[in-house]
Structure 1
Amino acid sequence: MTSVATPAVTAPPFAEEREVSGAPTISLADIAKAHGVRFLLATFVDMTGKPCAKLVPVEAADELEDGAMGFAGYAAGLMGQKPQDPDLIAVPDLASFTPVPFIKEGLAIIHCDPHVNGKPWPYAPRVILKNTLARLAEKGMQAKVGAEVEYFLVKKNDDGTLSTADGRDDSPRPCYDARGVTRMYDHLTGISEAMNGLGWGNYANDHEDAAGQFEQNFNYADALTTADRVVTLRYILNILAEQRGMTATFMPKPFTDRTGTGLHFHLSLWSGAEALFPAAGSGAGDGGATGGGSNDDGRGLGISGLAYSFIAGILEHAPALQAFLAPTVNSYKRTGATTSSSGATWSPRKASFGGNDRTHMIRVPDNKRIELRSGDGSANPYLAIATAISAGLDGVEKASDPGAPSGPGESRPDAHQLPATLLHAVEALRQDPVILASLSGNPEIGRYYADAKEEEFLSWHNQVSDWEIRTYLTSI
C-alpha cells in the first residue's frame, strides 16, 4: 500500500524505437548480441494473464522478428481460438527487450504481439491495450500508469495447505514490520537490484498487511511499458522465489483470515508533456501538492474537469470493470471480506471516490493522478488497464460528472455496489455495451471473455467443498 511516487518517467531499453517510427532501426539480433544475450523468451499472455513463451536462440532472432514463430492458440489458453484455427504468430516488440541475467546468464524476455494471417490478433491482451491507446492517441492524449504489485511468499505443506515461507512471520498486524523485511532481505534485495538494473526505478520494498505478504514498487511509465513490466516482474518473482524454495503467489485471497492481494493502478492522462489531471492554477508542477492554488469547482481535490469526467466514467462502469480487475472466483473472497486479522481488508465494496483515503475504489492522492484500488493480484494488467481507460474515456466523451467526493470511509447513496461474485461481475459485463466493446472494439470478444469466466465460476461451483461437508453433512 505504498504511495506511488511521481518521478520522471524512465524509458525502457530501446523505447525510442516505439516512439520514433513504426519500423525499428536496429535488429533484434543486434540488440541481443550487444547485451550478451544467447536466448530469448518470446512472450505473450493469454486473457487470464498466463505467460506463454518459446525459448529462441539468438541465432534464430531474425526468424522471430520476421514472424516465423508460431503458437497453437487454442493450446496456449484463453485466446479466442479453436483447435482448427491458424497459428498465432509472435511478433516481437523491440522496445520491450529485457535482459534477465539474474535469472539465467544470457537470457532476455521480449514481449510479443500475437498476429494471425498477418494481422494483430484482436483477442490478444497486449493488442487490446495497444488498440485502446491508439484510440486515446486519436484524441491527442496518452496514458501513464503506475502499478503496485503485491504478493505472498508461501510454502505448500504435505497435506496441501499453505503456510508462510517465513515461519516467524505470524503476527496478526505485520504491516511494515522491520524484522519481517530483514528476514526476507536476500529475496527483497535480489528483486530490487533486478528492477534497478533494468532501469525501472525501484524505490520501496515493504511488508504488507498480511503475514507473508510483500510489495515492491517501481516508477510509473507509459501504459504499455507498465503492463509489460507487471508481467515481467511476476515472472521474475516466481522464478527467484522458486530458487529459494518458496512460491510467490498473486492469488487474491490465499488465506481466509488475512488481507488479500491487490493490484492497484495509478492512472493519469497527458497531452505530450502536459499533465491533464491538475486543475488550472492548482500547482501542476509543484510535485503533486493537493489543492495547489485552486480548489477547482469547490470540491477541493485540485483536479480538472477532465479528471472528474474520467473518474465518473470508471465509477459508472465499475461493476463490469470488476470482471477484469477481479477476474477469478477467489477474487470475491477478497472483496467480500468484512474484516481480517489486521482489522481491515483494504478492499472497496462500493464504487466511490474521495481524497487521500484508501477505503474508496478511486483514491485521489494528489492532483496528478488517481489510484484505482479495486483490482487484485489475479488481474491481467493489459486488460485491466485497457478497460479502465476505456471506461474513463467514455466519461470524458460524455462530460460526465461524478458529483461530490465522498468523505473518509463513506460512499454516496447512489454509488454502485461492486459485484459479490465472479458470476455477478460477468452479468454486469454482459449488460455494459461500453465495456463489452472495449476489447479491440468488438463486443464479441467481450462476450467470449464473459462466457469463459462464467464457465470458470460454474466449474468451481460444481466442486463439493469442505465447508459444505461441515455445514450440511449432519444438518438434517
Structure 2
Amino acid sequence: MTHLTADRLHPSELDEPVSASRQTSATSWETGGRFGAALRELLDDTSAFERHQQANLRPEVVEALAERIRATGVKYIYYMIPTLGSRTVAKVVPAEHYERMLRKGIAFHRTALTDLQTSREGELIGGGVSAHEFWALPEPETFQALPWDGEVGRIFCTAYDPPHLGPSGGRLIPLDTRALFAAAHRGFTERTGLELRSGLEPEMTWTGPGLEVVSKEDQSPAYQVENLEKMRPVYKKIISYAQALGFTMIQGDYEDVGQIELNWEYDRAELTAERMTTYRQICKQVARELGLQASFMAKPYNGKMGNGCHHNLSLWRAGADGEENVVEDGRVELHATETARRSIAGMLLHTPGSMLVMGSTVNSYKRYWDAGQFAPSGADWGLDTRGVAIRISANGRMEYRLPDASVNPYLSHLYLLAAIEHGIEAGLEPGEPGAPSALLQDVVVPNTLGSAIDAFEADSYLMGAMPEELTRIFLQLKRDEWARYCGQITQWEFDQYWEAIP
C-alpha cells in the first residue's frame, strides 16, 4: 500500500512556534488537515490490491512462508481480520493451500467487518444482504503457530474491494481499521519524522470456581499476594502463551475482585494494537481451558473498578545518532516537552469527538458515573495524578486514561494519531497541569453513549480526517446500540416506579 507524500515538517520545526505562514487554514482543519488529505489519497489508490498480491508472490516470500509452515508443523491456518467492533473474523484453510491464499486471498461478505450486525429495523449494517464480498490478502510475515495447539496457525489479512468491481475495485477498505491505522501511521511519520509508540494496560474481570475474594468492608483487595495466588493458574497460562507469540511480558497485578492487569513491553503502535487483539484471544482460550469466564466488559459491577485500557504514548524520531524520544528531554523533574504539550493539547481538544471510539459501548460510560474508582471524567492533564484524562506518570510517556478494555485498539490509535498531528501542526497549547488553556476550558467530555454520538459528529476536524464510510457506518452501529438501550426497560426502573407512582 502507498500513502501520500506530503510536505514534511522538518524535525527541528517541531519544537518551534508555528508561524502564521505555516498555519493550515480553517477550511483545511474542517477537512481533517493533512492527515485527512493523506487518507483520502490513500483510499483512492486502485492498485493497492495488485501491489499487495505481487509482493506476496515474490519467490522468496512464498518460500519463507512454506519453510515456516514446515518448521512449525502447522496443518491448519486461520486467515483473520479484526472488525470495526474489535472482534476478529476468520476462515480456516488447510495449510498446504498457502500459495493459493497468497494469490487469491479469502472472500468474506462485506458486513463481516461490521460484525454482521442487523439494525433494529432489520437492515444488515454495512451494506445489507446485497453488499458485495471483499477479498482479504494475507500478510505472510504475521504467520504464527498457536501455542495451545501447534497444528493451528494464524495469519492477519488486509481487506480490499475486489479488482473485478471496475473503477472502485482494488482499493483498501476503510472499515479494515488494522490496515487503515498502519497506513495512516506511515503517512504521519513521513510528514512529521515521528513514530508513535504505545503500551497498553488492559484490565479484565475473571469469574469462576476458586476465584472468590473476601475482604473487609470498604477495603480494596488490590495488590494482595493471596489474591494474586488465586489467579496463578490464569496468569501462568496467559504469560506462557503470550511469550510463545512474541510478547515481552513485563508485569501484572491484582486490582479488584476478579480483576487482573498483565502488561507487555511498549512498541510501535500498530504492533501494540495487534498484540491487544492477540491478547484477547489468549485470555478467552485460557478461560476455556480452566473452566472460567473472562470479560473485557468496561464496567461489570458498581462499587468496583472498571476495566480500563490506558494508552501510554511516546513519540520517537530516528536520526544519525540513533532514536530519540521527543516526549523526553533529560530533565529529572516530571515534565512535558513542547512536542508533548502540543500533542496533549490535540488529544484533549478532540477528546469529546473521539470518546465514541474510546468508550464504544453503553456500558463504557458507567465507569465515569461510579465515584471514587479512579476513572477520569474531564479533558484535563496533570503530573502523576489519576483523576485526569492524560497523566505524565513518568518522563517520556503520556498516559491517555479514557479508553476502556472493550476498545478497538486500531481505531483508538488512529484517532489519537490524528489528534496528535493536529496539535503539533497547529501549535496548540494545553495550559498548565490543573489550569487548562483557553482552548480547552470549555471542553466537555461526554458521559453517555448518546452524548458521545453527538460529540463525534460535531468534531469537524476528526470527521474530515477519517474516511466517510468509516464514520458513517460506525455512527450507524452506535446509534443502533444506543436506541436498543434506550428502548429497554430495566430492573432499576421497575424498582423505582412500579409502586412509587400513585
For the 8 Å contact 2:84–2:113, the answer to whether it is kept is no
Give 1:373's match in structure 2, choosing from 394, 401, 407: 401
The 8 Å contact of residues 264 and 374 in structure 1, kept in 2 or not, is answered as yes
Kept in 1: contact 2:379–2:440 (CA 8 A): no
How many Å separate the matches in 1 of 2:269 and 2:301?
31
Q: Which residue of 2 aligns with 1:125?
A: 177
Structure 2 counterpart of 1:223, from 255, 269, 274: 269
Number of the residue aligned with 1:69: 106
- Quote the RMSD (CA, aligned, Å): 2.2
SS at the partner of 2:61?
coil
Distance in structure 2 (CA, Å) of the matches to 1:149 and 1:393? 25
Flag the 1:413–1:313 CA change in 2: closer, same or farther, 3 A: closer
Match of 1:332 in 2: 365
Q: How far apart are the structure 2 equivalents of 1:184 and 1:126?
A: 32
Tell me the residue number matched to 2:23. none
Letter in 1 for 2:326: F
Question: Match of 2:137, SS?
Answer: strand
* Stretch deviating more after TM superposition (323-332 or 355-364): 355-364
Displacement after TM superposition at 1:74 (Å): 1.7
Correspondence for 2:344:
311
Tell me which of 189, 192, 200 is aligned to 2:236. 189
> Residues 96-136 of structure 1: CA distance to partner in whole angstroms, max 9, x if unpaired?
223222x2222222221111123221111112212321221
CA separation of 1:34 and 1:334: change in aligned 2, threshold 3 A:
same
| 1:26 corresponds to which of 61, 79, 96 | 61
Contact 2:343–2:424 under 8 Å retained in 1: yes
Matching of residues 12-161 of structure 1 within 5 Å: 25-27=60-62, 28-75=65-112, 77-78=114-115, 80-101=126-147, 103-117=148-162, 118-139=170-191, 140-155=193-208
Amino acid of the residue matched to residue 346 of structure 2? G
User: Which piece of structure 1 moves more, 446-455 or 392-401?
Assistant: 446-455
User: Are the equivalent residues in 2 in contact too, given 1:322–1:418 (CA < 8 A)?
Assistant: yes
Alpha-carbon spacing, 1:121–1:355, altered in 2? closer, same or farther (3 Å): same
Contact 1:170 1:211 in 2 (8 A): no
Judge conservation of contact 1:436–1:447 (CA < 8 Å) in 2: no
Tell me the CA shift for residue 444 of structure 1. Answer: 4.1
| 1:144 shift after superposition | 0.9
The answer to whether the 8 A contact 1:75-1:83 is kept is no
Q: Residues 263-412 of structure 1 correspond to what in structure 2 (within 5 A)?
A: 263-272=309-318, 273-278=322-327, 282-283=329-330, 291-292=331-332, 301-338=334-371, 344-406=372-434
Corresponding residue SS for 1:119: coil
| Larger RCO, structures 1/2 (Cα 8 Å, 6+ apart) | 2
Match of 2:496 in 1: 471
Q: Render the CA deviation track for 1:214-261: whole Å, top value 9, x for unaligned.
A: 011101111111111000010110111121111110000111221100
Deviations along 1:272-305, whole A, 9 cap, x unmatched? Answer: 24334245xx32xxxxxxx33xxxxxxx644321
* SS in structure 2 of the partner of residue 378 of structure 1: coil
User: Amino acid of the residue matched to residue 206 of structure 2?
Assistant: L
User: Would the aligned equivalents of 1:29 and 1:58 in 2 still touch at CA under 8 Å?
Assistant: no
Q: CA offset at residue 347 of structure 1?
A: 0.8
Corresponding letter in the other structure for 1:421: T
Q: Which has the larger radius of gyration?
A: 2
**Deviation of residue 420 (structure 1)?**
1.1
Map of 2:454 onto structure 1: 427
Instruction: Count matched residues.
Output: 420
For residue 77 of structure 1, report the CA deviation from its aligned partner. 3.0
Q: What is the distance in 2 between the residues matched to 1:345 and 1:361?
A: 14
Q: Which amino acid aligns with 1:95?
A: E
In structure 2, distance between residues paired with 1:219 and 1:437: 33
Q: In 2, distance between residues paired with 1:26 and 1:116?
A: 23
- Uncovered stretches (5+) of structure 2, i.e. residues with no partner: 1-53, 116-124, 163-169
Percent identical: 27
Q: Give the secondary structure class of the aligned counterpart of 1:437.
A: helix
> Is the helix fraction higher in 1 or 2?
2
Aligned-pair CA distance for 1:207? 0.6
Which amino acid is 1:449 matched to?
A: F
Conservation of the 8 A alpha-carbon contact between 2:213 and 2:257: no
Distance 1:167 1:392, change over 3 A: same
CA distance in 2, matches of 1:419, 1:151: 23
Counterpart amino acid of residue 448 in structure 2? T
**Distance apart, 1:76 and its partner CA:** 5.1
Opposite residue 350 of structure 1, the aligned amino acid is: G
Map of 1:417 onto structure 2: 444
Name structure 1 gaps, 5 residues minimum. 1-20, 156-163, 284-290, 293-299, 339-343
CA distance in 1, matches of 2:210, 2:373: 22
Distance 1:114 1:243, change over 3 A: same
Q: Contact (CA 8 Å) 2:430, 2:440: kept in 1 or not?
A: no
Match for residue 285 of structure 2? 239
Mapped contact 1:89–1:114 kept (Cα < 8 A): yes
TM-score by length of 2: 0.79
SS of 1:109's partner is strand
Mapped to 1, the partners of 2:413 and 2:325 lie a distance apart of: 18
Contact 1:328 1:422 in 2 (8 A): yes
* Other-structure match for 1:445: 470
- Secondary structure of 2:297's aligned partner: coil
Q: Which amino acid aligns with 2:463?
A: L
Give the one of 275, 279, 294 matched to 1:248.
294
